[in-house]
């Protein structure tokens, strides 16, 4: 990608076209066991400045999805479909071509700040590296910019930090440094892959607020990957719920919380402990394991674990269906609110949502 292309893509973004558009994106891994369908046909789009939450359990394909978009996958990965970034299809880009986008146009904050910073490189150098690389800054300008970035992410005593090594900083501070690195070159798209999972609860909110604030200041799009619906609730414009490599529900954040359609989304919601629960309330869990992505179930991926599944669910895969709001789609034969669902829910309520014997189906 040369400079002219980038300028052109900037114009496209201004004209209101989506910054990122995924059309039927599939990422498969060749393994000895067979083809792992880690991401299996995801379609969504994101405008500049918007934020998207990608939610799902471990193994739902949410991390692979974000790395597929960015092109940061091992060589065993095979991608199909299309990833349009600023109007350009980048799905077939080589690592060499992607390198001009990495750090410059799109960047990533990783889950574990303890391991994501080079333990033997000074903080200052880690921040100035992309500045010199993409923006051609000299050492003095890059250092001054790094200092400003450290202030932006509200790290105390930024001058001192430049010459410190990661192990001299706390986890929360390291994640702030990671964010500073990711923001360094002013990317238009930021991926945050479980950015708060490894952090203290008190620090979590600060980091999420920081990302949100930087998104607004820089008119940057954010893709927030998490297993925690609570995290995305206050920090995203739209939410994509993933299960077994597929989108199972996708809606603007407010719509989703007001009107969940997919029993899986509902289960995720229910598994968040509530303050109003009396002490020692048993935590609600989703029984069973995520599906085997080499041999996915015949029908709905979630059917083997779904308390509401009916025979049809086990044989026929539900398509993504729009609700009255076309932005809200879901993949379920008997969504929340349907007569079949309500009937089953009434039965379950009687047993306190504890199914008699789930081992038979999971």
Site residues, another protein (CB under 8 A): 70, 72, 95, 99-104, 107-108, 110, 112, 115-121, 129-130, 133-134, 165, 167, 178, 181-182
Question: How far apart are alpha carbons 177 and 161 in whole angstroms?
Answer: 9
Compare residues 17 and 129 and give the one whose CB is closer to another protein: 129
Beta strands 329-330 and 77-85, pairing class: unpaired
CB of residue 220 to another protein, shortest distance in Å: 15
| CB neighbourhood size of 259 (10 A) | 16
CB of residue 33 to another protein, shortest distance in Å: 18
CB of residue 188 to another protein, shortest distance in Å: 14
Question: How far apart are alpha carbons 32 and 8 in whole angstroms?
Answer: 43
Compare residues 130 and 304 and give the one whose CB is closer to another protein: 130
> What are the DSSP calls for 45-82, one per residue?
EE-TT-EEEEE--TTSSHHHHHHHHHT---TTEEEEEE
Compare residues 163 and 219 and give the one whose CB is closer to another protein: 163
Residue 348 — φ and ψ, nearest 5°? -65, -35
Compare residues 126 and 267 and give the one whose CB is closer to another protein: 126
Compare residues 168 and 342 and give the one whose CB is closer to another protein: 168
Question: How far apart are alpha carbons 22 and 7 in whole angstroms?
Answer: 22
CB of residue 166 to another protein, shortest distance in Å: 9
Give me the residues paired with residue 251 across strands: 239
Compare residues 121 and 354 and give the one whose CB is closer to another protein: 121
CB of residue 99 to another protein, shortest distance in Å: 5
| 3-class SS of residue 146 | helix
Compare residues 189 and 231 and give the one whose CB is closer to another protein: 189
CB of residue 349 to another protein, shortest distance in Å: 44
Question: How far apart are alpha carbons 42 and 329 in whole angstroms?
Answer: 12
CB of residue 70 to another protein, shortest distance in Å: 7
Beta strands 329-330 and 246-252, pairing class: antiparallel
Q: How far does Cα 179 stand from its chain's mean position?
A: 16
Beta strands 77-85 and 88-89, pairing class: antiparallel
């Amino acid at each position: 990608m040369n400079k002219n292309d980038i300028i052109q893509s900037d114009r496209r973004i201004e004209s209101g076209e989506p910054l990122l558009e995924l059309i039927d994106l599939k990422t498969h891994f060749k393994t000895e066991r067979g083809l792992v369908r880690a991401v299996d046909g995801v379609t969504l789009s994101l405008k500049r400045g918007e934020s998207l939450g990608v939610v799902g359990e471990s193994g739902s394909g949410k991390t692979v999805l974000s790395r597929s978009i960015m092109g940061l996958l091992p060589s065993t990965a095979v991608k199909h479909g299309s990833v349009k970034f600023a109007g350009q299809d980048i799905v077939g880009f080589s690592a060499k071509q992607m390198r001009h986008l990495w750090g410059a146009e799109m960047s990533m904050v990783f889950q574990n700040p303890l391991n994501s910073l080079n333990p033997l490189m000074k903080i200052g150098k880690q921040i100035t590296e992309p500045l010199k690389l993409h923006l051609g800054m000299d050492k003095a300008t890059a250092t001054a910019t790094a200092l400003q970035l450290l202030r932006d992410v509200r790290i105390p005593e930024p001058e001192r930090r430049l010459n410190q090594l990661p192990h001299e900083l706390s986890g929360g501070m390291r994640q702030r440094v990671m964010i500073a690195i990711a923001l360094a070159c002013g990317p238009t798209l930021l991926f945050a892959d479980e950015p708060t999972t490894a952090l203290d609860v008190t620090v979590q909110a600060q980091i999420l607020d920081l990302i949100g604030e930087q998104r607004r200041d820089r008119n940057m799009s954010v893709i927030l990957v998490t297993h925690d619906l609570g995290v995305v609730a206050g920090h995203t414009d739209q939410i994509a719920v993933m299960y077994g490599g597929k989108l199972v529900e996708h809606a603007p954040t407010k719509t989703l919380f007001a009107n969940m359609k997919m029993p899986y989304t509902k289960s995720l919601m229910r598994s968040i402990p509530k303050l109003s629960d009396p002490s020692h309330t048993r935590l609600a869990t989703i029984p069973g394991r995520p599906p085997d992505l080499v041999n996915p179930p015949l029908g709905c991926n979630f059917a083997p674990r779904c308390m509401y599944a009916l025979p049809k669910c086990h044989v026929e895969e539900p398509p993504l269906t729009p609700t009255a709001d076309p932005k809200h789609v879901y993949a379920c034969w008997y969504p929340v609110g349907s007569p079949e669902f309500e009937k089953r829910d009434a039965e379950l309520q009687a047993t306190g949502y504890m199914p008699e014997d789930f081992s038979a189906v999971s």
